[in-house]
Structure 1
């Protein structure tokens, strides 16, 4: 089964895609994490995408096509993939459709997550990450135990460039402009299941709503 999670940055795509992954037993391909990892490792891919991630701009389609193609060809993808962060535009959706069709597969489900901009800015601007072990914290909902230091390895936590308020606002603007047509593109596909989940409230409510939809549609 192939599933796409859509939603603005900070709407919970990472959280709920990983929960869904555990329910269904298929891996998550989080393109943002993959690209940030390539930057940290200093790979050629990382050098190509650094300026786009730091400015909040979309990574060019030719780069994303290579990343997704490699993911689809991995052994972990034999039973399907949950995509977190891709596609972001209609052009990327068409790339994904072509890549899946070339392998005899199709997209089965899109889950759109909705959250207010003010709530997104509050969540993301309070996010901190450990540069050593990549643990993620939130100063409001899941703070570290000891003064902004990682609970796991003790390294001082940092705020990513793309989690600063001014960058978040720009990322949201880019998302609204680029992704609105994508939502309409997927909503109009007759054979594609499409769920809309409100993630403004406590995480447990959204989690239960997703699970209910999956059960109602015979997916789990």
Structure 2
């Protein structure tokens, strides 16, 4: 099964992608992982991406598409995959369709994780990270530390990343609405989209997502 996962920042795409991929026994392909892998391995596409990133510029669609195509052609993806963060815009979605068509394949389902904008802001702006270990993550409301500003695990200082400030989150949402949200309409025209509430526990959202998938 070939699935595209869509949703705004803070919708829990990464978490859901990992659970769904495991349940379906298909690889989880995320844009972030693609960039990190290509850059760390020094591939031609990775070097091109890094040159743009180092200059503070957006990586061109053709580079991202090339990375995604290389990954989807790996042996573990022949039986399907779950895409998270790709396609990011309609041009990438069209390129993906062409890619799959050439290989005699197609996207089977698009899962749109829906969450109110105020909830997105609350989820992200409330995050606090430990300065000693970024794996120690808390939330001022949903997972508050025993002592404000102090990591329960190691006693390190908790801080809010610049990317997690409310102003930054709202700007990220604007980018999502402008660039990525149009792919939902693109896939709706193909009858592929199911919108799922991303509110509730991780398990509840996963169950909704699994129930929305077409039976093979």
Task: Give the TM interval when normalised to the shorter protein.
Answer: 0.7 to 0.9
1:121 matched to which residue of 2?
Answer: 121
Mapped contact 2:132–2:157 kept (Cα < 8 A): no
2:9 matched to which residue of 1?
Answer: 9
1:203 matched to which residue of 2?
Answer: 202
1:171 matched to which residue of 2?
Answer: 172
Distance (Å, rounded) in 1 between the aligned partners of 2:18 and 2:124: 18
Distance (Å, rounded) in 2 between the aligned partners of 1:143 and 1:29: 31
The CA deviation string for residues 57-94 of structure 1, in whole angstroms up to 9 with x for no partner, is x6421221122112112232122110001112111101
* Alignment RMSD: 3.3
Distance (Å, rounded) in 2 between the aligned partners of 1:116 and 1:61: 29
What SS does structure 1 have at the residue aligned with 2:193?
Answer: strand
TM-score normalized with structure 2 length: 0.79
Residues 189 and 14 from structure 1, CA distance in 2 versus in 1: closer, same or farther, beyond 3 angstroms? Answer: same
1:183 matched to which residue of 2?
Answer: 184
Q: Structure 1: which 5+ residue stretches go unaligned?
A: 53-57
The CA deviation string for residues 119-138 of structure 1, in whole angstroms up to 9 with x for no partner, is 11111223356799863624
1:55 matched to which residue of 2?
Answer: none
Mapped contact 2:184–2:193 kept (Cα < 8 A): no
Q: Structure 2: which 5+ residue stretches go unaligned?
A: none
Whose radius of gyration is greater, 1 or 2?
2
What SS does structure 2 have at the residue aligned with 1:111?
Answer: strand
Deviation at 1:213, TM superposition (A): 2.2
TM-score normalized with structure 1 length: 0.78
Instruction: Say if 2:50 is the partner of 1:46.
Output: yes
Deviation at 1:148, TM superposition (A): 5.2
Distance (Å, rounded) in 1 between the aligned partners of 2:4 and 2:165: 26
Residues 127 and 136 from structure 1, CA distance in 2 versus in 1: closer, same or farther, beyond 3 angstroms? Answer: farther
Distance (Å, rounded) in 2 between the aligned partners of 1:182 and 1:99: 16
Q: Aligned pairs, how many?
A: 209
Deviation at 1:27, TM superposition (A): 0.9
The CA deviation string for residues 85-104 of structure 1, in whole angstroms up to 9 with x for no partner, is 11121111011112222333
